[in-house]
Structure 1
Amino acid sequence: MIYGLTGQIISIVMSFIVRTVFIYTLGIEYLGVEGLFSSILLMLSLANLGFDTAMIYSMYKPLADKDKYKIQALMNLYKKAYRLIGFVVFIIGLAIVPILPNLMNGTTSVEHINIIYMLFLLNSASSYYFVYKQSIIIADQKNYIISKVHTKFVIISNVIQVILLISTRNYIVVLIIQILFRIIENIYLAKKANDLYPFLKVKNKAKLTNEEKKDFFENLYSLLLYKISGVVINGTDNIIIAAFLGIAIVGIYSNYLLILMTLSTLLSYIFYSVTASVGNLHVTESTEKKYFIFRVIHFLNFWTYGFCVICLWNLLNPFITLWLGEAYVFDKLIVLCILFNFLTAGMQNASTIYRETTGLFKKGKYRPIIAAVINIVASLLLVNNLGLAGVFLGTVFSRLCTYFWFDPYVIFKYLFQRSVQSYFKNYIFYFLLIIAIAYLTDLLGSYILVHNPMLNFIFRGILCLIVPNLVFFILFRRSEELKYVLNLMKKMIPINVNRRKGLSS
């Protein structure tokens, strides 16, 4: 968590610097092109088929058992699969070139659009030929190694990009630098994996048994369906916006998306760090303990995402105004829909963690496909009537029709063996509480007028820091979930101190 969060904070700072220089040197249309092409290639990543998740999951046991032959067999399969995937991504990407003009509403002043797209495609396809060896590092709980290396490459690459943007204003040169640094980083990490696990360098013909292959591909099939759904739900928004509303709107939205994705990534380091612990809990503890920890995670999920949404509602537009100017700001209705999408996605974390660690992802495995279809249809219908807000409402609608109710239903029925009504009651209460406090802080911020934009931003920030956390604490100070979290934090402090002393001695 420490290395991941530190690296992510550095990436955040560098991203904002590069984004600012990018906008002022090249303009919003180039930003829109980048957002559109990134979404297209996200769709092409369906070729991955969930191989990375299935492979990492398959390596946990052989790593614990030090079964080198099994690891070699898995890596051989992964190597062949990813080289094929890289080739498929490149071929499908080439087939899209003739229809690129149809994906952009109106003309664009961006020159050499096909060359830019080909560089994006090359960047995506080439990564598959080197990245597969990182899976063993991740499965062996040494992801901090990857975080350290990635942070160094991010700093160097972004500094060079800023220099090139200011000196040349040439987007193609910047993209070439991105490709070179990504390839070098992946080659370096592949070499690092060889150093950590020397048996990977030994030539071998290790293969999985037929039974092992069957188990692997059964898990892969279920994960594939989730992969398709996730890519469609997260990747189609920019494509629909570009096709119906224009490339410039994609560029403006990409600034909001950068902030939201940054927050999501930071929060994911907190929640998904407990995934392995929940997996252990599933096989060692009673049903009551599993249910209680689920409630704790759901409570923490509400507090962190609720706090973030309240801050974003009050500070997002003022921040972008200070950063880029009023021309890059959406109206309140669009921001509301964007945050509604962000909150409903974030509030699923507890259900997602339990679904993935207990094997319940095999229940209702076709539901993700239904979610993806609903998302596309609803977004296409609503964008014509509601414009940009309709795209996000379509995504929210698809999530409410599927993930929102089905995941907790399955978990409560098969794991906790109790009614799911208590979950939905808590969810609705949490949701309404977040809306009420967001309105309250906005009202307080508007009531006390501060004409200086920077001072207004700081004042609203102080309100957002105090009001929601104070209200949450007053309302939940007697709850079992909060008491458990506070006691756990108290226990962790002396443990960390003793560990440091032990390491020093």
Structure 2
Amino acid sequence: MKLDRAGNAKRNLFFGTLNKVVTVVLPFIVRTTIIHILGAEYLGLGSLFSSILQVLSLTELGVGSAIVYSMYKPIANDDNDTLCALLAFYKKIYFMIGIFIMAMGLIIIPVLPKLINGSYPDTLNIYYLYLIYLINTVSSYVLFAFKGSLLNAYQRVDISNNINSVVNILMYFFQIIILITTRNYYLYAVLLVIGSVVINFLVAYYTNKLFPQIICRGKISDKKKQDIKVKLKGLMLNKVCQVSRNAFDSIFVSMFLGLAETAIYNNYYSIMNAVTSFLAIVSQSILGGVGNSVETESIKKNYFDMIKINFIYMWISGVCTVCLLCLYQPFTQVFFGKDMVLSINAVILFCIYFYVLKMGDIRSVYVHANGLWWENKYRSIIEAISNLALNYFLGKYFGIYGIITATLISLFFINFLWGSGIIFKYYFIDISIKEYYGLHFLYAITTIIACWITYNICELINIAGIVGLFFRLVICMILPNIIFILFYRKTKEYKAAMPWLIKKITE
């Protein structure tokens, strides 16, 4: 079966965007409500527990990604027996992972106070609250999370996005009502569990309805098991790397600076992560199609597609970087208050962090589509170790600035430079990586120029509040795009990507 890659991607992008609006805007309202009603320490505590459980979720080892990758070929060959066997294997592994996370989560309980620098709200029992967060994490693994693999492999994530949108709207609405009327943080946390359970049941229901022929039965061959095990080893290391980059940042901020600083850091990180999650819609929407393309198209065709998609993606990422630089401070002041504002130096570091993170996203789609996780093993190990060591030493002496800088160093030199070389070594074999690096250098320089020009013009606006924020946003949406058109209009990437994009949109 050759999937309708363009049609599925457009549908996934549309509903994925709607889902991100819900899962970004409403949590932001909830965070603001918590800060104003309960205080920053409550928000910091929730961020800390989420980070701890993200570390525990390392035991997932990327099983989902490995199984989805293993489904690309049987989908292309209409091999339903293999798909059924893979789903049964996935179900068994995920249940075992859920039980393991629960056990490890319970073991961590005695050391919770040591992960908090200073005091925490005396009205809360941190052990009870942590158990609620732990149950929320485990629930997906022991229920029907494995069903989502079919939606990903068939490029139908629009279904799970729609389910998430509806359930989360209701959940966040009731969370806000509970915070305002009862100020009860326990009830707020319990709703997280209820939301997760409902989402799991609905995903299972609609997956069964859409793919009734694919059920949990049969066993995969020993050869397939061995192949998945190799992929899992690489994915495990990749997952460790990702967690060392994200979750440990919050833990180190809590250890060195306390819960209040953790809340401030996580406000800035959440804003950046919100933009990142919107862009992630692109990679999530095209991954199944790219996996199908890897099985059915030539390497040169896939490289040409990657360059086109990467050009469009980095254009969007550049505009987002400009927006972050110009809007971070006024946005934080308006919605969180002046006491929650970091310095402009921290803002610049967050913007560089965001842009460097985006540089490797499209390349990563092709890494996942080719299952090159084991080939990335040394890169993942060294990046994780470097990030943890740099986080500790730089965070200890330079605080938040050191923690962000630590992530930046490992992200650029190890993740981007080294990681890009791996896919050219194992997949784009006969293609020089120099062009790829050169294009990213051009995109980065152009983005820096756009940031400098737009920021200085925005600083001329002396209007405070939401009105001033709106005028800055208008400038950020128009000026960088004009600059990019002037810089890129004569490049072959622009001439190839823009007609292709317009055609895909209008088809």
Name which of 338, 342, 349 aligns with 1:337.
349
Change (3 A) 1:364 1:156: closer
Taking the aligned partners of 2:372 and 2:175, their CA distance within structure 1 comes to 44
Q: CA deviation at 1:243?
A: 0.4
- Structure 1: unaligned runs, 5 residues or longer: 496-505
Q: Secondary structure, in 3 states, of the residue corresponding to 1:259?
A: helix
Q: CA deviation at 1:282?
A: 4.2
The equivalent of 2:93 in structure 1 is: 81
Letter in 1 for 2:197: I
1:244-272 deviations in Å (ceiling 9; x for gaps): 01111111122222222221111111234
- Between stretches 29-38 and 134-143, larger displacement belongs to 134-143
Change (3 A) 1:381 1:335: same
The equivalent of 1:161 in structure 2 is: 175
1:138-187 deviations in Å (ceiling 9; x for gaps): 22222222111111111111111111111110000111122122112212
Instruction: Tell me the TM-score normalised to structure 1 length.
Output: 0.92
Q: Secondary structure, in 3 states, of the residue corresponding to 2:142?
A: coil
The equivalent of 1:438 in structure 2 is: 451
Are 1:485 and 2:478 an aligned pair? no
Taking the aligned partners of 2:464 and 2:412, their CA distance within structure 1 comes to 40
Taking the aligned partners of 2:175 and 2:403, their CA distance within structure 1 comes to 32
Change (3 A) 1:193 1:364: closer
Q: CA deviation at 1:188?
A: 2.8
Q: CA deviation at 1:65?
A: 4.0
Letter in 2 for 1:162: I
Q: CA deviation at 1:280?
A: 4.8
Instruction: Tell me the TM-score normalised to structure 2 length.
Output: 0.91
The equivalent of 1:193 in structure 2 is: 207
The equivalent of 2:121 in structure 1 is: 109
Letter in 2 for 1:56: V
Taking the aligned partners of 1:489 and 1:367, their CA distance within structure 2 comes to 33
Name which of 138, 141, 150 aligns with 2:155.
141
Taking the aligned partners of 1:135 and 1:233, their CA distance within structure 2 comes to 25
Letter in 1 for 2:135: L
Alignment of 1:27-42 (within 5 A): 27-42=39-54
Taking the aligned partners of 1:493 and 1:109, their CA distance within structure 2 comes to 51
Name which of 412, 415, 422 aligns with 2:424.
412
The equivalent of 2:388 in structure 1 is: 376
Are 1:10 and 2:25 an aligned pair? no
Are 1:171 and 2:185 an aligned pair? yes
- Structure 2: unaligned runs, 5 residues or longer: 1-12
Is contact 2:462-2:468 (8 Å) kept? yes
Is contact 2:379-2:419 (8 Å) kept? no
Change (3 A) 1:445 1:72: closer
Structure with bigger gyration radius: 1
Q: Secondary structure, in 3 states, of the residue corresponding to 1:107?
A: coil
Are 1:231 and 2:231 an aligned pair? no
Aligned-pair RMSD on alpha carbons?
Answer: 2.1
Letter in 1 for 2:318: G
Taking the aligned partners of 2:90 and 2:424, their CA distance within structure 1 comes to 35
Change (3 A) 1:288 1:141: closer
Taking the aligned partners of 2:180 and 2:396, their CA distance within structure 1 comes to 39
Q: CA deviation at 1:278?
A: 3.8
The equivalent of 1:260 in structure 2 is: 272
Higher relative contact order (CA 8 A, sep 6+): 2
- Between stretches 420-429 and 32-41, larger displacement belongs to 420-429
Taking the aligned partners of 2:82 and 2:304, their CA distance within structure 1 comes to 37
1:342-375 deviations in Å (ceiling 9; x for gaps): 1111111232123222344432422101100000
Change (3 A) 1:149 1:374: same
- Between stretches 4-13 and 404-413, larger displacement belongs to 404-413
Change (3 A) 1:201 1:56: closer
- Between stretches 483-492 and 238-247, larger displacement belongs to 483-492
Is contact 2:34-2:179 (8 Å) kept? yes
Name which of 289, 303, 306 aligns with 1:294.
306
Name which of 265, 275, 285 aligns with 2:287.
275
Are 1:421 and 2:434 an aligned pair? yes
Name which of 162, 165, 181 aligns with 2:195.
181
